[in-house]
Amino acid sequence: MDRRIQLPITRETARTIKSGESCLLSGVIYTARDAAHKRLCELLREGRPLPFDVKDATIYYVGPTPAKPGRVIGSAGPTTSYRMDAYSPAMIEAGETGMIGKGKRGPEVVEAMKRFGAVYFAAIGGAGALLSSCIKEAEIVCYEDLGAEAVRRLRVEDLPVVCVIDSEGNNLYESGRNAYLASQK
């Protein structure tokens, strides 16, 4: 049974979401990939405000295809998350509570998630056409010069994700694989 989560996710809510849990997210999320994270973290280092409120924010690692006429957005599946590992601890410390991407995360990210209370979700990589149907509104917040990598504010309804790493550091990529292998013995 999928758990419905209304965004934003507070630190307290983040600590209740468990690795392996399938969730449907509704509300506002922000998009950022490598190039946008680099700029956001430069602002954080300089102690300047971010172009959007990062407190309790969920960031989706995605660079969508351009919207066809009459559509909100193009295909919009997750990109590989480890490229954001260099930036995520600072973002989590600044208030980010949710990350949506796909693939492994480094130990420094997991440590920050445990320390501050944050969750890492995966959306299905390569299912960009399907995931885009959950995006009801999209607008560029900043960094328009980055094209697909600009920061966008999205309103999503029932975006299907799976909690891969929870705020205790439990990891579905390890437990899921181990459970499957154990079932085959």
Partner 1 sequence: MRELSADALTGVIARLCVEANCVLPCDVKARIEEARKTEPWETAQGILDRIIENYGIAEANAVPICQDTGVCCVFLKIGQDVHLTGDIRAAVDEGVRRGYAEGYLRKSVVKDPLRRVNTGDNTPAMLYTELVPGDRIEITVAPKGFGSENMSRLAMLKPSDGVEGVKAFIRKTVEEAGPNPCPPVVVGVGIGGTFDKAAYLAKKALMRSTDERNADPYYAALEAELLESINALGVGPQGFGGRTTALAVNIEWMPTHIAGLPVAVNINCHVTRHKTAVL
Residue in the block written with tokens 């630190």: 11
Centroid of chain to Cα 143: 18
Instruction: Tell me which stretch binds partner 1 (CB under 8 A): 10-18, 45-53, 106-114, 130-138.
Output: 130-138
Considering the complex, state which of residue 55 and residue 71 has its C-beta at the smaller distance from partner 1.
Answer: 71
What's the per-residue H, E or C state across 60-119? ECCCCCCCCCCCCCCCCCCCEHHHHCCCHHHHHHHCCCEEEEECCCCHHHHHHHHHHCCE
Q: How many residues bind partner 1 (CB under 8 A)?
A: 44
Does the protein bind partner 1 through residue 32 (CB under 8 A)? no
Active-site choice (5, 21, 31, 37): 37
Using CB under 8 A, pick the residue from 42, 53, 133, 136 that binds partner 1.
133
Does the protein bind partner 1 through residue 95 (CB under 8 A)? no
Note whether 39 and 19 are within 8 A (CB). no
How many of the other CB atoms lie within 10 Å of CB of 129? 12
Does the protein bind partner 1 through residue 129 (CB under 8 A)? yes
Does the protein bind partner 1 through residue 66 (CB under 8 A)? yes
- The pair phi, psi for residue 21, each rounded to 5°, is -75, 130
Residues that bind partner 1 (CB under 8 A): 35, 62-68, 74-77, 79-80, 82, 102-104, 122, 124-130, 132-133, 146-149, 160, 162, 172-173, 176-181, 183-184
Indicate which residues carry an active-site annotation.
Answer: 37
